[in-house]
Amino acid sequence: MRAGEKLKLTEDPHRRLNILTKEWILVSPHRATRPWQGEVAELRTVPEPEYDPQCYLCPGNARAGGVRNPAYASTFVFENDFAALHPATAPGRSDRIDLENKGLIVAEAEPGICRVICFSPRHDLTLATMSLSDIKPVVHTWMGQFRELSERPDINYVQIFENRGAMMGASNPHPHCQVWATKSVPQEPAKELASQQAYSRLHGRCLLCDYIALEQSAQERLVSENSGFVAMVPFWAVWPFEILLCSCRHFASMNDFTANEADALGEILHTITSIYDRVFSVPFPYSMGFHPAPTDGGSHAEWHFHAHFYPPLLRSATIRKFMVGFEMLGMPQRDITAESAAARLRELRK
């Protein structure tokens, strides 16, 4: 771009700011202007059975740790047999190994709780293939788990997340997610908390409420919306078909859901995951997680409930985006613009 010329976001290399984390991403649209150019190879997958006798999440089967599942008929919640956190972890902090350490080696105890939630007794279902009536108890199970854990005085954050597909590290194809409840507020929501608080102090308004209104006006990056939620490819998206899912109404957590919003969440999750599966005609891998306000006793009027979808597939069922080289050492980078990715996802709505 020469001096005096106007920046063209569809053509010129530029940086975009993630308003939730205050981090930058490099966008290089001149390298690939349309997300559906190039190979769109279909990956042949073997259908999963309704019941797998070898699956440690199916009803009646023994889990990897030896405990046998009950013959559950809807959702099923259990304490993770190989939990990353333990509630009985002794409190403590070590920031000095010896007198010469100068506080450069710091460790702090992190007690917490890890649970697994099976969405369905059927081994072969996903959020994209489940009926809305089957997704409804999943949403209510999330709500119940969040309410229970958020009331514990030793828990300050409740993170519900799903890793779908082996590409995203899912160890089992049975439809399930995890809940990690932590003593501290994890790094990503802590950055979002600081940004939302700063915006509220400066403008007297909600950051995401203002951003949603902007996106609804522009319509350029919107993917889908219903009575309770709006899904968009955020302006600062890092992953090829990343989605930011926000509640239409301003509230902080699942504790604030109305009955309509609980149903609307199930509907839009089904819509998003179904669209994903049509991008390359395969079960689309992703990591998805809800970001509620911390449960540290604060009112958190600045916080707007939302969720993130981070899918890795780039140009086909077998070509994924990797964070390497400049992205690990400098900043994230993408070729496919958020606008073109959103246009592609909108085309696949039914």
What b/e readout covers 54-84, taking b as 16+ CB neighbours within 10 angstroms? ebbbbbebebeeeeebeebeebbebebeeee
Number of neighbouring beta carbons within 10 Å of residue 325: 9
| Residue with token string 């994230």 | 332
DSSP 271-310: HHHHHHHHHTTS---EEEEEE----SS---TT---EEEEE
β pairing state of 23-27 and 333-334? parallel
Q: What are phi and psi of 134, to 5 degrees?
A: -85, -25
Rounded Cα–Cα distance for residues 40 and 318 (Å) = 9
Find the catalytic residue in 176, 291, 304, 306: 176
SS3 category, 231: strand
SS3 category, 259: helix
Number of neighbouring beta carbons within 10 Å of residue 302: 22
Encoding tokens for residue 183?
């003593």
Q: Is residue 176 annotated as a catalytic residue, yes or no?
A: yes
DSSP 157-174: EEEEEEEESGGGT-S--S
Residues designated catalytic: 176
